[in-house]
Structure 1
Amino acid sequence: MPGAAPAVPPPPPNPSDAELESGQAQVSAGVAQVSDLINQVASANQELARLDDEVAIKREDVNRALVDLQTARDEADAAGELVNQSRQAMRDADARIEQAKDRLTNYAVESYTKGRNAASLVSYLGAEGPEDILERALIMRRLAAGQKAVLDNLQRARTEQANRESAAREAKRRADAAKDTANAKKVEAEQAIAGVRAALEEQGSRKAEVEAARDAAQAQLAAARDNVAGLQGQRDAYIAWDNQRRAEEAAEAAAAAAAAEAAGRVAEDRAAQERAAQLAEGQRPHTQLDDEDSGGWTPPVQPAPSPVPPSVSGSDAIETVIDRGMSQLGVQYAWGGGNANGPTLGIRDGGVADSFGDFNKVGFDCSGLMIYAFAGIGISLPHYSGYQYTAGTQVPSSQMRRGDMIFYGPNASKHVALYLGGGQMLEALQSGTVVRVSAVRWDGMTPYAVRMVS
């Protein structure tokens, strides 16, 4: 098709079947070695897991021994404190007993020296008569009995305290024994810690060796697989490219066929050609900046005749418009190009279009393609998508029909395309492309489509 750009990129590398077979053979040859290394890694992992379990148990044994040691120490300290308290209580009881004995002795001495008869008691107590003497004698006997009772109670308290001291000494003995046992466990714990450290050091070296072997095995296996995967990936990429190429070629062939059919119908439609020619004859080139720069256009001697009303309407008119547009499939994009008669030389824009050399290309831009398509039914459109947006009846874009114009950008200022139905549209998109059929893009579409033919 004229002006068609390459559809697919250059082909990627395509490994031969011999290269694929050689790579697979290398993988097969290394399977036994890689499998053995994998088994070694698995064994090493099991050994390390077992060691970790043993270390965990030994560490908990150490914790238990330390707890037992601290518990025994606490019990020994408590028992020692109990012995000290008992001994202090014994000393306090002895002191109270001695005080009671002293009071009792003093009482006995005083009673003896002053006599035990009634006269002595009356004199001692200052009695005033026999009744008073008897009452005071009774008091003396009660005082003596009370002193003895106190002494007896103190003796019993001393005996009980002695028993408690004996029990405390026994508790202290057991606590000391527990402390000795705990000290022994401390030694065992320290030995266990030393054993764990030795095992860790030994297994640390073994673990490093096993991990190095494992990494080497995995690297070898990965390299072998990557080699085959890389070759297969290249083959898959080539197959995908080839499928894309075939699809693009089929699409191009279908487009070429559609364009040829449409072109044939356009060529046979003399009336449409005459209507388009009549429109073009009376129009000043839209790129002309002043009257002197006519760009090869000669004003008609007589005023340009009014466009002939279209001799077709309805679906026939719509199909005429679509045939004219589809007949230009593959024509290259040229900014500013296209009029009622067909593609024209593009113009400079001072930017992107110039970088693509549009000013040296004969083709269409988006609005120029619409001008050519609708000229066949006698409809003249301005060469600007924003003005074309107001040239016909605006309908909601969600209700557009085959033959309507679709617009993009604020106030339709960016782009226009021709809706073909079935989610497809005909467009001349941008510099570097060609006239083509594309899927309708809803992003950026204006709220309305424009219907020129009812």
Structure 2
Amino acid sequence: MARAVGRSRAGTATGLVLACAAALLLAGVPASAQTAPPPPPGGTAAAGAEVGRLVGQLSTLQTQLDGLAEKAGQRQELANRAVADDTAARGRVEQTRRDAATTRAAADRVAADAESARTRVDTWVAAQYQQADAASIGTALAGTRGPQDVADRLQLQGLVTAEQSADLESYENARVEAANSDSRARAAAADAADAATRAAATRDAAGRELGAARNAVADQQRQITGVTAQRQAAQTRLAQLEASDAALAAQRRRAEAAQAAQQRAQDSADAAARDAARARLARGPAPAVSTPTPSPSPSSPSGSAPSGQDPAQTVIDRALSELGTTYAWGGGDANGPTQGIHDGGVADAFGDFDKTGFDCSGLMVYAFAAAGKSLPHYSGYQEDAGAKYPLDQRKAGDMLFWADDDGVHHVALYLGDDKMVEAPESGKVVRIAPVRFDDEIVPTVTRPLG
């Protein structure tokens, strides 16, 4: 900021302009993002020089803090992958267990039917021994190969009725079906056991990944704490200088007023965009969409866009309708904002676990549910949720992604005109922002709606 101001005026003027930038930094806004009002006369060169040094230090520290917060947010989203993998694995285990239980119950019913048929056969065979010539029965049974063979021989000899022959046939069929059903039940039980084993491995891997992500976030948090302490010391010294220099204090007040006016204008614009989006959504019926179980691949669509509306616009409006909603790591599903979860680091420091809101992938889950498209709650899996196109072919309604060597760590919804809507990171809110065409932006976009 000091270099941008230049040295066209005396140290007093430079110091006062820098004081304006310092005021903006004290308010938590990077100096580079604002334009200071012209400095008034007054002040001292010595004070201006120290203010210049402090503001330069604050600007550097603020840049460091922004970078650390962004990196922490990236680690948080990678932790979402571990959560999604574990949840999907648990879901698969439960499904295979239910399938195995259903198959076993069916096998047990078939076995019971076979036992009933065997009992009926036993009853009338015993009666035949008691009522008929034992020698004839013995001759009929000699060398038989099974119930059906017995039935055939006895029927030829006139020793069984048609009903009894049917009982024998029913028993033979039931016995075969019982054996097949038992085999299927055993196979289903084996599948459930295998799924449980695989899920345990997935859970262990997810636990390690989540632990690594949390350690990375904790490391970022420690750095943030250190940089914040340095910034606080610089801010304290600036406050002391302002207290002893009326011109600096006046400049600070003007800078704060300018910043407040800019924030009010931004809030007003966001509110207008939010209200317009909600009005468009209200023109058609909202789809009935349930929260999908996260999985490495997107689940099938449910619901549809409001009648008469372009699905992509419906998705955009769904996202814009949440402008200003707080960021909460782990928050958001197909039905709206949800309470965040613990991350063991930055998100916990911001109290995300006690807030209701969205993280970046949660906002996408909610937005696309409006058009009947279910997405997993991890940006890396969302990248594979539709057709991919080169970045330079992007259009409104596409998803944009950012990645590093560890994988995809952020997602946003493209609005057109190089603008996007996103849930950025802990401590911030859902917002409209310029697309960041940095070296981490993925060179393709994903178009879930075709």
TM-score by shorter chain over 0.5: no
TM-score bracket, shorter-length normalisation: 0.3 to 0.5
TM-score, normalised to structure 1's length?
Answer: 0.43
TM-score, normalised to structure 2's length?
Answer: 0.43
